[in-house]
Amino acid sequence: MNLFIKTENGQTKNHPAFEDNLIQAFGEVPSHWEAFIRVERPALGVYDVLESNEPTYEKVDGFWTDVWSVREMTAEEKAAKQQAVITAFNSREQAENWSAWVFDEATCSMVPPIPRPEPVEGVLVFWCGADNNWKEAPARPEGQYKFDFLAWAWIAA
């Protein structure tokens, strides 16, 4: 569906409208309505910041379009985000089980020193800090249980 936006003195007015709606209302697309190309909100990188939740409307290559303003985080913002991830990871219950995991700056996440093995249906595999490796967990019993990584057993929740 084609979109058009109302313009006045080279500036947009309001928001885009569908061509069909304009034809229904005016019998044609009025001359002061110009073609508009919708651009979806961009996917952000790990250290990108979207300056606004709303795009601006700008003319690009002869068409009005959504323009999203994305910038890289400042060094301070990046350091704060990284520290928040590390703090949250280390604040988890039984955090000592994952003490061998390291921070990966590229993904801003904690990663194991050994990649997780491919999943096998019906088999639970958890990180075992005592062995510093992935290990098959015992089958989960019915009911309310949580896994105790230090005892390597399910305990009543």
Q: Render pLDDT for 14-57 as a digit per residue (tens, 0 to 9).
A: 999 999 999 999 999 999 999 999 999 999 999 999 999 999 99
Q: List the domain range (segments joined by +) for residue 50.
A: 3-72
Size (the chain), residues? 157
Q: How far is Cα 134 from Cα 128, in angstroms, rounded to an integer?
A: 6
Residue 114's pLDDT band (boundaries 50, 70, 90)? very high
Q: What is the pLDDT of residues 65-78, one digit of tens each?
A: 999 999 999 999 99
Q: Are residues 141 and 85 in the same domain?
A: yes
* 140 and 113 together in one domain: yes
Beta carbons of 94 and 153 less than 8 angstroms apart? no
Pairing of strands 33-37, 63-67: parallel
Say yes or no: 65 and 88 in one domain: no
Cite the DSSP H helix spans in the chain.
Answer: 19-26, 75-90
**H or E element at residue 45:** none
Are 67 and 59 in contact by the 8 Å Cβ rule? The answer is no
pLDDT at 15: 96
Task: Please state the separation of Cα 47 from the chain's center in Å.
Answer: 11
Q: Residue 53 gets which letter from DSSP?
A: S
Same domain, 63 and 123: no
Residue 5: other Cβ atoms inside 10 A: 20
Q: Which DSSP state fits 143?
A: S
Place of tokens 């044609």: 28
17 and 49 housed in the same domain: yes
Please indicate, yes or no, whether residues 47 and 118 belong to a single structural domain of this protein.
no
CA distance 8 to 23: 19
pTM for this predicted structure: 0.77
